[in-house]
Amino acid sequence: MKATFDHRDGALLRVLEVDGTTYGSTVPSSDAVVDPLGTWWRNYFTGIPPEPVNQAGTAIRTAEMFCGPGGFALGAKQACRELGYKYQSRFAIDSDAEATKVYDLNHDTEYLSAASVTTLVDYKIKGSRAEARMAYPPEIVDERLIEMVGEIDLLLAGPPCQGHSNLNNHTRRSDSRNELYLTVPAVAIAAQIPLVVIENVTAVVHDHSGVVETTKELLSQAGYQLTDGVIKADKLGWPQTRGRYFLVARKGSAPIPLKEVTAALAESEAKSVCWAIDDLAGLKRDHEMNRRPKMSPENMERVSWLHDKGKFNLPDELRPNCHKDGNHTYGAVYGRMKPDEPAPTLTTGFLTPGRGRFIHPREPRMLTPREAARLQGFPDTYRWRIPEQEPPPSSLLTKWIGDAVPMPLGHAAVLSALGPGPPR
């Protein structure tokens, strides 16, 4: 696979060469481009999607489990556009009912569900890892999804990651939520979906019950060919260091190896956090996406000290009492972002100085939801609304944005799945 840029007739052209097939898509550009990838993403940030040079006319019919507000779908949609396919969202499910409404508002989904994914399919697995077997053929039991069996091309899934995260010191590796991962191969097999892309935190491969190995075995037995690995956003040039583990499965032909995709998209240097958010300075604070959280006097003093002193790490004497003896491993907590480096991995705590290195690099404040959303790959045109309700509270925005999959990661993984051509 190769990815190159060219400038033609007032447009920036991105060319993808995959297995002997060439795909082209363009975004507006008036002059010769010094930073083509930056120009490409600038258009994306402002809501200008690429236009395929040759529209295939084929619609990629998608379903998503654990969909959240739709970050993973953005990467899939971007990949479809660059390959000349239409994107059709047929089904999405998440137990967060408000998140599914945001998802629908942005992706126009045919069927939404706020039920548990366990209500979709009847299945039973015997054994684990290399010994895993389906006790009987899995069967879709959701009435609406039954109608779509054999009519979905791509399944996206981001099972709950809290049970796998290294930040979870209580039930890590043995959390019962980890078993939800296994509903994904069951649904894929039962609904006869030829393309599957699963994402999770990098630590998922160390799960106590071996959910990744079990999933690989079940999919392989069902005729899927696999590729997997960790994709890091900053290695693709994106202004955040976030990494995620992806498992890509395809029937009929093998997916493009993830290493090949990431090598083609690799950049020698990542964009900085200020490259991504500097133009947002000065936006009206009364808009919910530009809200700035109130801080305690103690935290305001800490944030101001970092900026007044030109420092990025808070000394122990200015930290809470539990940190003052130096006996802690949270060096990034109460940290200020470095303006010339990519942002660290964002979490749901990006509005709170005590949750990570989330202090704005140039101003004595925290990131706004809009700035965090950009760093997570959401364009400014994304609609963070729950129809017929007030704007969502900060608690929901931080959850949705902080847990999202940055667009370039989903984009790369879906290119792996779709690169060999449409599944039908």
Convert the pLDDT of each residue in 388-411 to its tens digit: 888 899 999 999 999 999 999 999
Both 289 and 327 in one domain: the answer is yes
Please check whether residues 212 and 89 belong to one and the same domain: yes
CATH number where 122 lies = 3.40.50.150
Does residue 49 lie in a domain region? no
Angle of CA points 197, 203, 208, to nearest 5°? 100
Q: How confident is the model at residue 329 (pLDDT cuts 50, 70, 90)?
A: low
> What's the whole-number average pLDDT of the chain?
92
108-142 pLDDT, tens digit per residue, is 999 999 999 999 999 999 999 999 999 999 999 99
Residues 125 and 210 in one domain: yes
Do 211 and 159 lie in one domain? The reply is: yes
**What are residue 28's phi and psi, to 5 degrees?**
-65, 140
Q: Which two tokens stand for residue 25?
A: 């898509």
CA separation for the pair 85, 63 (Å, rounded): 16
- pLDDT value, residue 33: 78
Whether 308 and 378 map to the same domain: the answer is yes
Told to judge if 274 belongs to the known catalytic residues of this protein, a careful annotator would answer: no
| Cβ-based neighbours of 233, under 8 Å, separated by 6 or more | 240, 241, 242, 243, 270, 342, 406, 408, 409
Q: For residue 12, is pLDDT > 80?
A: yes
Tell whether 50 is covered by a domain.
no
Write the CATH number for 294.
Answer: 3.90.120
Comparing 367 with 282, the larger pLDDT belongs to: 367
- Asked if residue 167 has pLDDT above 70, the reply is no
Q: So what's the pLDDT on residue 56? A: 78
Residue 307, token pair as written in the block: 């900026």
pLDDT top residue among 173 and 407: 407
Residue 326: the pLDDT is: 65
Residues 330 and 293 in one domain: yes
Asked if residue 315 and residue 280 are part of one domain, the reply reads yes
Asked if residue 143 lies in contact with residue 123, where contact means CB atoms within 8 angstroms, the answer is no
- Which of 417, 423, 3 is CA-nearest to residue 228? 417
pLDDT at 147: 98
**41 falls within a domain:** no
Confidence bin at 165 (pLDDT 50/70/90):
very low
The Cα 232–Cα 285 span in angstroms is 32
- Identify whether residues 194 and 122 lie together within a single domain: yes
Q: State pTM to two decimals.
A: 0.94
Mean pLDDT of all residues in 84-105: 97
**pLDDT of 171 strictly over 50:** no
CA distance 241 to 332: 14
203 shares a domain with 296 = no
What is the domain range of residue 117?
56-269+405-418
Q: What's the CA gap between 268 and 217, in Å, rounded?
A: 35
Task: Produce one character per residue of 384-405: b if its CB has 16 or more CB atoms within 10 Å, e if not.
Answer: bebeeeeebeeebbbbbbbbbb
Burial bucket for residue 69 (CB in 10 Å: 0-12, 13-18, 19+): buried
Digit-coded pLDDT (tens) for 232-242: 999 999 999 99
Report how many domains make up the chain: 2
CA dihedral 56, 93, 355, 304 (to 10 degrees): 60
- Give domain status of residue 20, yes or no: no
Count the alpha carbons within 13 Å of 59 in the hemisphere toward its beta carbon: 9
Whether residue 100 is contained in a domain is answered as yes
Do 60 and 149 have their domain in common? yes
Residues 6+ apart with CB under 8 A from 286: none
Any domain includes 189: yes
Is 216 domain-assigned? yes
Predicted pLDDT at 66? 98
Mean per-residue pLDDT for 80-88?
A: 96
Share of residues in the chain with pLDDT > 70 (%): 93
Residue 48 inside a domain? The answer is no
Nearest Cα neighbor of 108 from 140, 77, 83 is 77
Average pLDDT over residues 74-79: 98
3-state secondary structure of 89: strand
What is the structure's pLDDT at 282? 77
Retrieve residue 81's tokens.
């556009």
Nearest Cα residue to 230 out of 256, 211, 204: 204
User: Would the pLDDT of 168 be above 80?
Assistant: no
Q: Which has the higher per-residue pLDDT, 302 or 57? A: 302
Q: Select which of 67, 80, 161, 274 is catalytic.
A: 161
**Separation between Cα atoms, residue 364 and residue 305, nearest integer Å:** 9
Q: Judge if 103 and 213 occupy the same domain.
A: yes
Q: Are residues 220 and 301 in the same domain?
A: no
